[in-house]
Structures are given as structure tokens and as C-alpha cells.
Structure 1
Amino acid sequence: MKALLLTISIIITTSITAMSQNIDEIIGQIKSKFAPDKRTAIFEINYSLENDLLSLKGEVSEKFFRDELIKELSSKFNYRLEDKIEVLPSPKLGERVYGIVNLSVCNIRSKPDHPEELSTQALMGTPVRILKENSGWYLIQTPDEYLGWVDDDGIVRYNSQEMVRWINSKKVIYTEFFGFVYSDINFSEKISDIVAGDIVELINSSENYFEVKLPDGRIGFIKKNEAKLFDEWFSSLDFSSESILKTAKEMQGFPYLWGGTSVKGIDCSGFVKTIFFLNGLILPRDANQQALIGEEVSFDFEFTHLEPGDLIFFGRKASNTRSERIIHVGLYIGNKKFIHSSGRVRLDSFDKNDPNYNEYRLHTIVRVKRILNKQNLIDSLKITNNKFFKADFYK
């Protein structure tokens, strides 16, 4: 009898373990399909199984993540499903689940505390989603879909109606690298600094200044020769490699900053992202994300097939025992030369006879991508085509 009971117990335990493994597999499959990158999507699911009740808990950043998971589980099992998954934004936030960056450069961290890693930055006027709050910090998502934490001074929270009004308003973009917003038309007192790519709302203009409104409602004045009406600026862009390289070269000497994506300090992918943004295009945040877009360019050590403006990615190539790992990116400028942010924004060369020869980078090239040759890709990357900059996203 004891042996029979032990056998039954083993069978039941084995069956439960097998069922749990099947559930884990489905959760993993859905996560891999819809939310493989934790930098851009949240899919944190746990569960309990008691008798015929499968209780799901956790949080997701998109409703359809949850819907697809429940659909798949329902099709595979006959359990009663209890859905306790929270779809972000958190209901605790109320209606103000969007925001506009309120600082010239807003630091965004990996966790909700000032000593934590600087993971990225956002410029004044950047629209964001707000997903949840923790002790005065907000988990936000930026137009490149990157996730991170910002303190409550970094953004101004808006509801959907306020966002639509802001999106539809006339705006000014700052085009010099560094400057100020002043409290008066004589430019005698400053109310904020301002950097290249910052976007503010236009109130009025004169021969010498733009009168603008910052996201938190402060009224100020910007020297007219340092900024442009956003629509006029955007319509003047040609999205060419020549323009990209011109911006890149103007930033030589700018300091390296891990997590930086602004002229105040930039890491390698932040440099590439910044120069493309200042030419009207929004690229993914990190180097290995940037490497996923564009057309693959064949590479040889004579750089036969490369063109100015191509992105060169560095790191470790895949082998039989190790996966590919991309850790750096630079911009090819021709004649075996490239520009990148490493210590500072600098020009280096793959030519061993060049005084700026960089042997280490030459031997760690993983792949080369071309972005500026396909109109459909350019169109998809334009600021004005990004969903965060469209009113319909907030309706």
C-alpha cells in the first residue's frame, strides 16, 4: 500500500512539474516573440497553479502582451485562468500618463535613485509615456522606446488632451549647441539653459527673438539666430550623409559620457543617435539595437564597399562557442577614417600609416550597416513619423 501511494505521489508530482514546464515554455515563447528586449518592453510574469486554477501575476507594458499570453495558454490548457496581470501605465497614475521633458537635458537612470547607472538622456520637449511611479521617480518610455527612471523634476506630466494640444502647437527647435532661454527681450536674465535639439512651444516672434513657453509653463525668450521654427527646420533637411557627417565633425572634442545622448556628453551610440536626431531622424538607443536596422554592407580590410555615413559596429563576432557581442559604434567618413565617441568625439583611422591609426578598432569590426540609402527606412525614422510625435497616439 505504501509503495502504491508513493508511486501515485511521484506520478502527480511529475505531472505537475511537466505542466509547469509547459507553462514556463509558453511564457518564454510569448516574451521572446513580443518583448525580447527588456530595454524597450516590460514582460514580467509569474504564476501559481493550484488544482485547476492557473493564476497569472506580474506586469506588462502593452495590453496585447497580456492578451497574447492568455490566448495561448487558453488554447493549450483547460485550466481556469485568473488574470492578475497589471497592464501599464499603472492605474495609480490617474489620467496623466504622458509627459514632456522639462530640462535641457534630462538624465534617465536604470533604477529609481540618483546613484544608479545613467542609462540614457532625453532633450527638452521630448514626449514620453509614463508607466509607473516609485517614491517621486517615474518609469518612462522615450520615442526610441527606451525605458528608464526619471525624477519628478525632469518631466511635466500631461493628460491625453494636454498632449494633443502640445503636439499640435507651433514649436521652435534650438539649433546651436549651447545657449539660454532668457526672461526678457534684452537677454539680461536666464531662466534655463538650452541645447541643440531642444524643442519648445512658440508663443510669438520678432526680428530678434522667439517668445517661447517651456513645458512647465515658464515664458522665455530665445535669440532668433540660434533657433528655427520646427516645421521650417524639418522641411529644410535633406537626410544626406553629407549633412550627417557635417554635424558629426562639428562635435569633435565633445566629452564622452556613459549613458549620454546630448551635446553635454555622449557615449558611442549616443553620439550616433544625437547626430542623426539633429538631422531629423530617431535611431534606436544602443549600438547593438542600431545594428539591427539598415542594409548590411560587406566588409574587407580595404573598405572597398563602404560609403561615407555608414555605421561601423565593433565588438566580438559570433563563433561556434560564443554569440556576437556589439559594444561600440562609429561613423565612416571615407578614406579608411571614422569618427566616434571614445574618451571624446574623435577622428580615427584604419590606415596603419595614419597618425590616428586605431589597430584595436580595426580588428574588432563586427559589421557595417547603411541607413541613408533606403527612402522607406528614412521615412520610418523621421521625427515627424514617430508615434510619440503624432496626436493620434494620445487619443
Structure 2
Amino acid sequence: MNAHDPRMTPANGHAAAHELRGVVEATRYVKGTVRTVQQPLVNLSESPRGERSSQLLFGEAFRVIDERDGFAFGQSLRDGYCGYVISGALTRQDAATHWVAAPATHLYPKARLKAPPEVAIFFGSHVRVTSDLGDFKKISTGHFIPTGHLQNLRARFSDPVGVADMFLGTPYLWGGSSRWGIDCSGLVQTALIACGLDCPRDSDQQRGVGRELHREEPLQRGDLIFWQGHVGMMSDATTLLHANAHHMAVAYEPLSQAAARISAGASGTGSGEIAMRRRPELGR
């Protein structure tokens, strides 16, 4: 953890995590309380009522450090990212048993295909299964989810590009983390975490993922390409898959075409020449 990076430092001046005693100044130091997100998505912001920095998904764990005026400050247990969420989006901690491995799934009021679903949750959401009914699984909220949309909590995919491809056409959304809307680093993070690789939230942080490629090394499927303020993933040696503001969506694009546009300053996201190429190291 970098105590100088507020994104990763669970402290807001009023309170700080107990492990930061002597590292940052705060009025009080607390262990914090872990709670669970109880709505499909909730924005994580730098300040109360501030702009979205990231999002938390249904069932995800959030460590609350400070709470006031209807907002909870704390840290996502998914990636250590810190910020503020609406207090009402959180409930008591609920230990998950499964996660949603489809781009989205509906929460049905009954274990019947034609029962009108009440809400949808998204890829990466965590749920606690309480009973198995074959085609459906009942979760702790009393809803039912198609069994094929769930994976055991420890199950992982093996191909990050295949995961990212599930988001093809998803609208671009700054700070987004789901099929409802996603940004460049959110797409990379989602794909890598689904394959069992820890990955931070923002593109500058992701420059530490895997190893840097030598200039002569050819690109291959799964390699990450970085610009200032942007990241994408190679689907093969010449094609980039990325969430970007030019298409306002997750899209495939020739790397040469994307690089030329970004270099010319006509991308909407990212700037300059390619700054780095890295290869995530799965299975380690």
C-alpha cells in the first residue's frame, strides 16, 4: 500500500484504519466494519456527492472506516480502492458462496423462467446460495438465479480476452465496472480478476501488472497496451480490445489505427504515443 496515494489509503482526516497509526494523521484510528453492497451497483467517489471514481457490485465487501451525513468512507476489499459510497447501499456482511459469471443475470421472485424478474445484477457480483433447485439457485435475499449464470466463489476463467469479449458493445462509462457501463481500466481489471490475477483499479496502477515486454517481443493475446490515461488488451498480435470514448463502447480495433488516433489527440481517452506494453502472468 502506498500511504501517499489517497486512492489506496483508508483515511479521510476524521478517521483512519488502525494499521495507519503513525503513518497518517487522523482524529481516531479504527478497525473498521465490513459491510456488503445490497444494490446492483453503487458509485465509489473521491468525496461525498463527488464524481464517480469506480463502482462496487452487488454482494461485494466494503470496509467502512467513517460514516456521516448519509455517506460511508472506506475501502473496497476487491482491490483496496478507497472512497465514499451512499450508506444506504450497504448492509450487514454476508458471506458469499458464488459469483455471477454471466455479463448480467436477473433476480427472479420464483424459480420459474416466466416469473417477472425484479432486478438485474452484473458479472462479478457476489451472492450467497441457500438452496439448489437444479435450473435455479436460491440466494440469501430470497431471489432465484439461473444456475448457469453462477460459479463457485473459487472458480476462475483462464482467458482474460474471452472475459473482456463478453463486454463487447458495453457503453463506455468513466469509472464504470459492469455491463451497464465500463471504462478502459475497469474492463482490464474485471477480465484479470476473473482469471485469478490481482489487478488494481486505475490504468496508471495497472502498469505494475505482469512484466514489461522488450521492444523486440511480438505482441500476443492478452498483452496490455498503455498510453497516458488509457489501457487496452490485445486479442491477437494486431487487434486491440478496449473500452474507449471514441466508440463510446467496448470495441475491437486495429492497434495501428487506435495508436494513430490517440497520438493525434483525437481519441477522447488517452494521449501520446504507446507508453508501455506488459504481459500479465497468469497461473502464478
Instruction: Calculate the TM-score normalised by the size of structure 2.
Output: 0.85
Instruction: Identify if the C-alpha distance between structure 1 residues 334 and 66 changes in structure 2 by more than 3 Å, giving closer, same or farther.
Output: same
Q: Which one of 260, 280, 284 corresponds to residue 359 of structure 1?
A: 260
Q: Identify which of 110, 113, 117 aligns with 2:51.
A: 117
Distance 1:105 1:43 in 2: 23
Aligned partner of 1:306 in structure 2 is: 219
1:271 to 187, 197, 211: 187
The question of 1:189 aligning with 2:116 is answered: yes
Deviations 1:230-264 (A, max 9, x none): 34xx1xx363xxx1111222322111000101111
- Cα distance change of structure 1 residues 348 and 126 upon mapping to structure 2, 3 Å threshold: same
| Structure-1 separation of matches of 2:157 and 2:10 | 36
CA-to-aligned-CA distance 1:155-208 (integer Å, 9 cap, x gap): 1134xxxxxxx44x6x23222212211111225133331211211111101222
CA distance in 2, matches of 1:333, 1:265: 21
Q: In terms of Rg, which structure is larger?
A: 1
2-structure distance, mates of 1:43, 1:107: 18
**Residues 46, 53 of structure 2: 8 Å contact kept:** yes
Aligned partners of 1:347, 1:305: CA distance in 2, in Å? 19
2:232 paired with 1:330 = yes
Residues in 2 aligned to 1:84 and 1:109: alpha-carbon distance in whole angstroms: 20
**Structure 2: gaps of 5 or more residues:** 264-271
Structure 1 residue 345 corresponds to structure 2 residue 250: yes
Q: Is the contact between residue 299 and residue 306 of structure 1 (CA under 8 Å) also seen in structure 2? A: no
Partner of 1:67: helix, strand, or coil? coil
Counterpart CA distance in 1 for 2:195 and 2:26 is 44
* Separation in 2, partners of 1:277, 1:358: 26
Return closer, same or farther for 1:112/1:192 CA change in 2, 3 Å cut-off: same
Superposition deviation, residue 358 in structure 1: 4.2
The alpha-carbon deviation at position 134 of structure 1 amounts to: 2.0
Residues matched between the structures, number: 271
Amino acid aligned to 1:366: A
Over 3 Å counting, the alpha-carbon distance change for 1:112 and 1:59 in structure 2 is closer
Whole-Å separation in 2 of the counterparts to 1:307 and 1:281: 18
Change (3 A) 1:43 1:202: closer
Question: Which residue of structure 1 lines up, in the alignment, with residue 6 of structure 2?
Answer: 38
- In the TM superposition, what is the alpha-carbon distance from 1:296 to its structure 2 partner? 1.3
CA distance in 2, matches of 1:185, 1:278: 27
Report the AA paired with residue 261 of structure 1: S
**Letter of the 1:295 counterpart:** R
Distance 1:359 1:84 in 2: 47
**Alpha-carbon distance change, 182 to 196 in structure 1, aligned in 2, over 3 angstroms:** same
Is the CA contact 2:218–2:237 (under 8 Å) kept in the aligned structure 1?
Answer: no
Letter in 2 for 1:126: E
Q: Distance in 2 between matches of 1:357 and 1:107?
A: 29
Is the CA contact (8 Å cut-off) linking 2:39 and 2:58 kept in structure 1? yes
Aligned to 1:285: 201
Runs of 4+ in structure 1 deviating by more than 4 angstroms, as ranges, are none
SS of equivalent residue, structure 2 residue 186: helix
**1:271 positional shift:** 1.0
Cα distance change, pair 192–84 in 1 and its aligned pair in 2 (3 A): closer
Counterpart of 1:148 in structure 2 is 83
Match of 2:105 among 161, 166, 179: 179
Contact 1:112 1:134 (C-alpha < 8 Å) held by counterparts: no
Which segments of 5 or more consecutive residues in structure 1 lack a partner in the other structure? 1-32, 45-57, 70-82, 91-96, 159-165, 316-326, 377-395
Q: Is the 8 A contact 2:103 2:166 kept in 1?
A: no
Identity of aligned residues (%): 25
Amino acid at match of 2:153: F
Please report the RMSD computed on the Cα atoms of aligned residues, expressed in angstroms: 2.5
